Structure 1
Amino acid sequence: MDLWLLPFLSLAGIAAGWLNVMAGGGSMISVLTMVFLGIPGPLANGTFRVAIVVQNITAVTSFRRRGFSDFRLSFSLAMAASAGAIGGAMIGVNLSGPWFNRVLGAVMILVLILMATGGNGQASAQDDDQPSPARNLVAGHLLMIVAGIWGGFIQIGVGFLLMPILSRVMGIDLVRVNMHKVFIVLVYTCSALAVFASQSQVLWSAGLALALGHAVGAWLGVRSSVLVGDVLIKRVFMLAIIALVIKLIFFS
């Protein structure tokens, strides 16, 4: 793609990284931007994994510096998710362009519903700061495999799966839900990225431009305690998603 377009990807990545760390669904901004810049959907699906890796390295480091880390549990959950992610990525690389666009459109409709109903389990830094022991470890790890399949396949909206598993099934307080989430996504995305790269479905220049923005957004997201103007942000975001859904489903 033209070099002059790369700064636009970095700007989009800032918003995407911030939303991904705070709740989820921010990756739609990255994919939306790449699709409207002319990058085919399947190639965009592989490319933005570069940004997800960098974003979550930044987020994990930032959480640790603020005293939030439990690498033993995070790593075991991440290994379960990685097992599913490899299979999901193999499905993703074999999905043709028009079918990928339709699946992406359906996913975005689902995410719109979750956003509209408040089903994202959003956490902020002002939630309960007291650690709570995780429960239902077996169920949590099994569900991580399922979430990993989805994350490896399309990644978008995986936060809406991970956060309920961690908070509602495993009983982890919401601040540490985000702490675990970014570590899990980091590890399994490395596995998925390897699959996409092996099939030449990664545009590295675009991925690195996105990664720069995602890193900044993740840094801001970890430090954000309150979503400023979140109602307006969600409305504009949802309108953009609706426009992309119409394009993907009816004009692919």
Structure 2
Amino acid sequence: MDVLDAVAVFAAGVAAGGINTIVGSGSLITFPTLVALGYPPVVANVSNNLGLVPGGVAGAYGYREELRGQRSRLLRFAIASVIGAVIGALLLLGLPAEAFNVIVIALIMIALILVVAQPRLQRWVLRRREGEHRPHGGPVLWVAILLTGVYGGYFGAAQGIILIALLGILLDEELQRVNAAKIVLSAVVNGAAAVLFILTWMFFDTKIDWGVVLLIALGTTVGGLLGARVGRRIPPLALRGVIVAVGVIAIVNLLA
């Protein structure tokens, strides 16, 4: 990796850390950047996942006030997230590399649709929440979080958008507290998958580029802190436009 590539990866990490804190689709920045630089998709995805973990911790720290009083529900949801993440990570490592390209293209397309539809989803969330009190969301939410964890362990782009929609629909909370919970659960998914990836790297020679991991980790930490501080000032339309543009580039690169 030369200096310009390293700067590009770090910058993508900063952007991803901020976007994950605000929206939840930062992998649509880092993953296509790595693919564009010539990294194999599975290596790019595993290395990216490891690098995103510190950014999630930084974002959660930035939202620590909104997290107050949510410990009980987050512990319950974290169990579902960990189970799902392990299943998703095992699917990533077990399925043929050729399958990854096909599956990821479909996942990116779904993620981009969610990004574009986010304002409508949020309005729907607000309407559905009126007059209802569901402190833990019931078994339906737990299972939905587990399935989102499977998606996050396998690829993860836009898992935050899925989570914020689910949590907003099924919990009696205002959106900033829902967003804080989303940040924590996304970090749990990435962290659980990262532990599995490290174990398979140690014992089964899973390919990880540790230089990429370090650069993305540094970038997402900076981005996570900045996103928590100033992210609400970024025009949502401009942010969605950037994500969609990068996602389209990722699809083109994977199809090339």
TM-score (norm 2): 0.85
Per-residue deviation, 1:111: 1.7
Count of residues paired in the alignment: 241
Structure 1 equivalent of residue 220 of structure 2? 214
CA deviation string 1:102-125 (max 9, x = no partner): 2211111112222222368569xx
Residue identity matched to 2:91: I
- Change beyond 3 A, Cα 1:49–1:224: same
Q: 2:252 aligns with which of 230, 233, 246?
A: 246
Structure 1 runs of 4+ off > 6 angstroms? none
Contact 2:122/2:165 (CA < 8 Å) preserved in 1? no
Residue identity matched to 2:149: G
Matches within 5 A, 1:1-12: 1-2=1-2, 4-12=4-12
Per-residue deviation, 1:89: 0.4
Q: Distance in 1 between matches of 2:29 and 2:209?
A: 17
CA deviation string 1:186-211 (max 9, x = no partner): 22322211222214232111011011
TM-score (norm 1): 0.86
Matches within 5 A, 1:112-151: 112-118=112-118, 121=121, 134-151=135-152
Structure 2 equivalent of residue 126 of structure 1? none
Q: Distance in 1 between matches of 2:119 and 2:106?
A: 17
| Structure 1 spans left out of the alignment, 5+ residues | 124-131
Structure 2 equivalent of residue 68 of structure 1? 67
CA deviation string 1:81-120 (max 9, x = no partner): 1011111100001233332122211111112222222368
1:237 matched to 2:243: yes
Structure 2 equivalent of residue 167 of structure 1? 168
Per-residue deviation, 1:151: 0.9
Q: Distance in 1 between matches of 2:143 and 2:151?
A: 13
Structure 1 equivalent of residue 128 of structure 2? none
Q: Distance in 2 between matches of 1:194 and 1:146?
A: 19
Per-residue deviation, 1:214: 0.6
- Change beyond 3 A, Cα 1:67–1:147: closer
Contact 1:88/1:151 (CA < 8 Å) preserved in 2? yes
Contact 1:13/1:30 (CA < 8 Å) preserved in 2? yes
Contact 2:115/2:158 (CA < 8 Å) preserved in 1? no
Q: Which has the higher helix share?
A: 2
Contact 2:160/2:182 (CA < 8 Å) preserved in 1? yes
Larger mean CA deviation between 156-165 and 237-246 belongs to 237-246
| Structure 2 spans left out of the alignment, 5+ residues | 124-132
> RMSD over aligned Cα, in angstroms?
2.2
